[in-house]
Structure 1
Amino acid sequence: MALIVHNFFFYLVFLPFTLLASTAVLVLSLFPGTSRVCQELEKRWAQLALRLSPVQVQAEIAPEAVSGNCILIANHQSQLDIPLLIALMPRQTIRFLAKDTLFRIPFFGWAMAKLGHIPISRENHKEGMRSIDRAAGKARDGRTLCIFPEGTRHRELGPFKIGGIVLAMKSGLPIVPVVINGTKDAHPKGSPWLFRRTVFVRVLPPFPTQGYDSLKERHRLKTDLWQYMNNRFLETEQWLKKTTRPG
């Protein structure tokens, strides 16, 4: 019963705030010099999502991972992952590459576009690669970008698609791996319910890219990065099992 009340209160507050913040971004974007205010609204939106949810977050953030703009390569388990990353890294303005259908959602999707998030097509490979090229240009201009290389949500670490690796290589920026574990149970795929769970997020030091000197090396880089992140993911899995052990 307490969980039902908590979920009811979450949606009662969070959904109107999402609509209000999205509308504010759309209006403010009509005026020059308001980008910082819009970014602050986005961060407040993400922080509110975590405060209202029953989720407990444990984070481990390598200092060198937040020292400059980079390409964040993160696994994806839940819709909570996006506000989670925005809230945990408030000193950086993260721009996500997200499926283009999200940008069609009235107000919320329109606000995503105004904030500078980048739509990417899953159905049209050529258009998807053009989005990667545009994103690489924005990264070189000083943006921190985040991509979920699995392409969709997975309970474990799913296979990586090549687009995120190509983005990282074309941008020339450091790759910062991010391992998220626990949101799969806190907000399961296809369910509106939020559950009391512990979530573990590890923002790891930049992955060394020496030796991957050209796009010809992209598949080797994809394999090596996946293996590295999977090892860290399995470590978080063991940590979560210990923290949730009865008694």
Structure 2
Amino acid sequence: MNLYELAYVVSKGIFRLSTLRTPLQTIGKENIPEGGAVLCCNHVHNSDPFYIVYSFDRKDKIWIMAKEEIRHYPVAGWLLHWLGFVIWVKRGKSDIGAVKSALKALKGNEKLLIFPEGTRQEEIGEGKTGAAMMAIRTGTPILPMYISPEREKGSKTKVYIGKPYMPFTEKRRANAEDYETVTEGIMAKIREIKDHREEMEAGTWNG
């Protein structure tokens, strides 16, 4: 067991105890690809990264791109920093170091979690092009996901995992317009999963 797997096991145990009232349920786990992938999901609560990471097995090393402000949050920030698989991003400026770290993770066949909207939103909004750029530059598939916003006592927090796909297959260098088009496609996939949650739970939706 490596350091990441140890941190995963220990922290997941703590996570389970702290979420007994809103336990995790994962739908579509069979869609998780081997190797690297850019995980793209809607974002509603600070706890979303934990629910998403623990929807995967410990063998799937997942790096989380998170705004640096979260680092100073009393509980979530401390735990994420302790786990050590977070790429902190300085918002409002070009964070070259964070980009390089993310690309390195993907090139190493590891997974990267990005919330395309860049911040928490009650409703799914427009995405930023960071996820598209990461996937295209590394030739890595996008894995669209949707997390239910409910965190009410007695209700499960459901994470829906869609099917992976290659966002850009043309044999040329992508440009800014391509990044925008791919980003729109990512957000459309997330909305599509939201609209077909019941079919996914019943196993009747092929995506």
Q: TM-score, normalised by structure 1?
A: 0.67
Aligned residue for 1:6? none
Work out the CA distance in 2 between the residues paired with 1:49 and 1:223: 35
RMSD: 2.6
1:41 partnered with 2:2: no
Question: Would the alpha carbon gap of residues 163 and 234 (structure 1) be closer, same or farther in structure 2, given more than 3 Å must change?
Answer: same
Query: Which residue number corresponds to residue 174 of structure 1?
Result: 141
| Partner AA of 1:42 in structure 2 | S
Aligned residue pairs total 193
Distance 1:34 1:58 in 2: 26
Paired residues of 1:99 and 1:121 also in contact (CA < 8 A): yes
Measured after TM superposition, the shift of residue 227 of structure 1 is 1.5
Q: 2:173 — aligned with what?
A: 214
**Alpha carbons 2:47, 2:76 under 8 Å: kept:** no
1:138 equivalent in alignment to 2:105: yes
Asked which structure has the greater CA Rg, the reply is 1
Whole-angstrom distance in 2 between the partners of 1:102 and 1:70: 24
In the alignment, the residues of structure 1 paired with residue 80 and residue 169 of structure 2 have an alpha-carbon distance, to the nearest angstrom, of: 36
Q: Secondary structure at the match of 2:54?
A: helix
Distance 1:230 1:40, change over 3 A: same
Distance in structure 2 (CA, Å) of the matches to 1:86 and 1:179: 13
Partners of 1:108 and 1:48 lie apart in 2 by 15
Q: Which runs of 5+ in 2 are unaligned?
A: 200-207
Contact 1:177 1:203 in 2 (8 A): yes
> Could you tell me how far 1:117 is from its partner in structure 2?
0.8
Q: Report how far residue 47 of structure 1 moved.
A: 2.9
Asked if the contact 1:62/1:205 (under 8 Å) is kept, the reply is no
Please point out which of 197, 200, 205 is paired with 2:158.
200
Q: How does 1:1-247 map to 2 (within 5 A)?
A: 34-50=3-19, 52=20, 54-91=21-58, 92-105=60-73, 109=77, 112-113=80-81, 115-124=84-93, 126-127=94-95, 129-181=96-148, 183=149, 185-186=150-151, 194-211=152-169, 213-216=172-175, 217-236=178-197
Structure 2 distance, partners of 1:199, 1:37, is 24
C-alpha contact (below 8 Å) 2:16/2:23 kept by paired residues: no
8 Å CA contact 1:137–1:171 kept in 2: the answer is no
User: What's the % identity of the aligned pairs?
Assistant: 20
- Partner in structure 2 of residue 11 of structure 1: none
Which structure has the highest helix share of the two? 1
Deviation of the 1:210 alpha carbon = 4.2
2-side partners of 1:89 and 1:62: how far apart?
Answer: 8
Higher-RCO chain (CA-CA 8 Å, sequence separation at least 6): 2
Q: Deviations over 1:189-225 (max 9, x none)?
A: xxxxx53334332111102324355331111111122
Residues in 2 aligned to 1:56 and 1:46: alpha-carbon distance in whole angstroms: 9
Letter in 2 for 1:225: I
Q: TM-score, normalised by structure 2?
A: 0.79
Three-state SS of the structure 2 residue aligned to 1:82 is: helix
Q: 1:107 to 1:82 in 2, by over 3 A?
A: closer
In 1: Cα distance, 2:24 partner to 2:72 partner: 30
| Distance in structure 1 (CA, Å) of the matches to 2:76 and 2:23 | 26
Provide structure 1 residue ranges, at least 5 long, that are not aligned to the other structure.
Answer: 1-32, 187-193, 240-247
Preserved CA contact (<8 Å) 2:132 2:167: no
In 2, the alpha carbon distance for the partners of 1:42 and 1:139 equals 23
Shift in CA distance, 174/46, structure 1 to aligned 2, threshold 3 Å: farther
Amino acid at match of 2:57: P
Q: Which amino acid aligns with 2:174?
A: L
